[in-house]
Homo-oligomer: A and B are copies of this chain.
């Protein structure tokens, strides 16, 4: 068997997928220069240019595209094969890569993870926090947590964490002292509010329900934040009314630095779901996590 330049091919696959040496290096915990070296070796050996690279842009040559296309299933197969040995261990081992919204990362996952990690001591949890992202699987995550039950093909959703959550309104006593309290969401248009912007750039409108009819309001904002912590801090400082996950406000409400606003208009909705692709190979850590969630749900109900 002619020895395959496997490390070089792996490096090529990483760079080709990331379309960047440095990004690929970060993603895999190696240095950019080692990838650069590996690619030079590979191209010298094949005597074929695989990547067209200016100092600013990496693109595939036709040969590179063809190679990557054939290489990926092979590497995926090997990854799956490697994971397969996990079934011969008493306890599964490896990394579980999740992509979850901020709230879940802060208030849902820690409590679940504590029990899960204790149950499976050889599994490492790798959590990325991202509110906007949808193609969770494509970017190398094993599974994602989302709220909407968006029904992509082959995607399976199972409940995780609390089955109902709610958005509640709140404001600092100092703010209420100055501006009063709204009785109805439409009053918000006369107030100063603290809004949230997703990393996509979209500013989240507030939605309410009246007699079964849903309506949204985009109130005037003095503060638009990107992290919920900042927004809560701004609310506590009296910069406006905040309307977000109850979990984010619980501590401030308890301490009295924030007080409820529009309490009758609290929006309840169903809790988050864990999504994963049923057709892709399921790594042992993911399988363990799903099994764990299912037994927890069964016990809970």
Chain A residues in the interface with B (C-beta under 8 A): 1-7, 9-10, 14, 27-30, 46-48, 50, 61-63, 66-67, 70-71, 73-75, 77-82, 84-85, 87-89, 93-95, 122, 140
Contact = CB atoms under 8 A, between A and B. Distances in A.
Given A6-B10, A7-B7, A85 B73 contact: no
A46 B85 contact: yes
Contact of A27 (B1, B74, B75): B1
Give the dominant DSSP class at A's interface: helix
B77 A2 contact: no
B89 A4 contact: no
A89 B67 CA distance: 13
Given A1-B14, A66-B84, A78 B9 contact: yes
Contacts of A89: 46-48
A223 to B, nearest CB: 38
Contacts of A77: 70, 73-74, 77
A82 B2 CA distance: 11
A75 B76 CA distance: 11
Contacts of A46: 82, 85, 89, 93
Contacts of A87: 66
Contacts of A81: 67, 70-71, 74
Contacts of A140: 1
